[in-house]
Amino acid sequence: MNLEKQEAPKPELKPTVIWKCKDAACKAWVREEFCPTPYPECPLCKGPTIRSYKHLAAVSLAKKPRKAKKTT
């Protein structure tokens, strides 16, 4: 019986700019490209954040094509 597992290829990790909460008890962080403001507040506790880096998989920010509205 062959029990080999086929593993999905691991994504390439890149240094990514993030904003993380200053409160050590709060573990929230957000990618810079998803921040609505230049100096965002913490998405969980609403406290101040600091700019930092994490090695993360790249994400595509491509917008999905809109569906045409039906006119009757």
DSSP 70: P
The tokens for 57 are 């998989």
Q: What is the mean pLDDT of each run of 10 residues along the chain (72 residues)?
A: 70 92 95 91 95 90 62 62
| C-alpha of 39 from chain center | 16
The tokens for 19 are 């904003």
> 42 Cβ partners below 8 Å, 6+ apart?
21, 22, 23, 26, 28, 48, 49
pLDDT at 59: 82
Local structure of 30: helix, strand or coil: strand
pLDDT at 32: 93
